[in-house]
Structure 1
Amino acid sequence: MSVPILRTRAALAERLDAWEAAGERVGVVPTMGALHEGHLSLVRAAQAGSDRVVTTLFVNPRQFNSRADYDAYPRTEMSDAEKLAPLGVDALYVPEPEEVYPEGFATTVSVTGLTDVLCGAHRPGHFDGVATVVTKLFRQTRARRAWFGEKDFQQLQVVRRLSADLDLGVEVVGCPTVREADGLAMSSRNVRLHPAARAAAPALYAALEDAARALRGGAAAAETCAAAAERIRAAGYAEVEYLELRAVSDLRALARAEAPARLFAAAWIGGVRLIDNVGV
Structure 2
Amino acid sequence: MKIVDTKAELAVVIGQLRAKGLSIGLVPTMGALHNGHLSLVKQSRQKADVTVVSIFVNPTQFDNKEDLQNYPRPIDQDILQLEQNGCDVLFMPEVAEMYETGESWDYEVGDLDSKLEGEFRPGHYKGVTQIVYKLFDAVKPDMAFFGQKDYQQYLVINKMVRDFSLPVNLVLCNIVREPDGLAMSSRNVRLNAEERKTSVVLYEALLFIKQHFYEYTFAELQHKAEQLFDTNPLLQLEYIKICDLNTLEEINTKEAKNLIVLVACYVGNVRLIDNMILS
TM-score, structure 1 as length reference: 0.96
| Aligned counterpart, 1:82 | 80
Q: 1:75 to 1:108 in 2, by over 3 A?
A: farther
CA contact (8 A) 1:203 1:235 kept: no
Structure 1 stretches of 4+ with a deviation exceeding 4 A read: none
Separation in 1 of the partners of 2:33 and 2:253? 36
Which of 10, 13, 16 is 1:15 aligned to?
Answer: 13
Q: Which residue of 2 aligns with 1:224?
A: 221
Instruction: Give, in angstroms, the shift of residue 158 of structure 1.
Output: 0.8
**1:30-179 alignment runs, 5 A limit:** 30-179=28-177
1:26 is matched with 24
Larger CA deviation: 33-42 vs 109-118:
109-118
User: Cα RMSD over matched residues?
Assistant: 1.2
Letter in 1 for 2:219: A
Gaps of 5+ in 1: none
Deviation at 1:233, TM superposition (A): 2.8
Asked if the contact 2:243/2:249 (under 8 Å) is kept, the reply is yes
Flag structure 2 segments of 5+ consecutive residues without an equivalent.
none
In structure 2, distance between residues paired with 1:128 and 1:41? 26
Confirm or deny: 8 A CA contact 1:265 1:276 kept in the other structure.
Answer: yes
What secondary structure does 1:114 align onto?
Answer: helix
1:180 is matched with which residue?
178
Classify the secondary structure of the residue corresponding to 2:243: strand
Residues 61-84 of structure 1: CA distance to partner in whole angstroms, max 9, x if unpaired? 000011111000001111101001
Counterpart contact for 1:200–1:236, Cα < 8 Å: no
Cα distance in structure 1, aligned partners of 2:242 and 2:53: 32
| Contact map agreement 1:63 1:125 (CA 8 A) in 2 | yes
Q: Does 1:201 align with 2:196?
A: no
How many residue pairs match? The answer is 277
Q: 104-113 or 28-37, which moves further after superposition?
A: 104-113
Quote how far apart the aligned CAs of 1:108 are.
Answer: 3.7
Once structures 1 and 2 are overlaid, which stretch shifts more, 223-232 or 16-25? Answer: 223-232
Aligned mates of 1:221, 1:29 — CA distance in 2: 37
Match of 2:252 in 1: 255
Q: Taking every aligned residue pair, what percent have the same amino acid on both sides?
A: 38
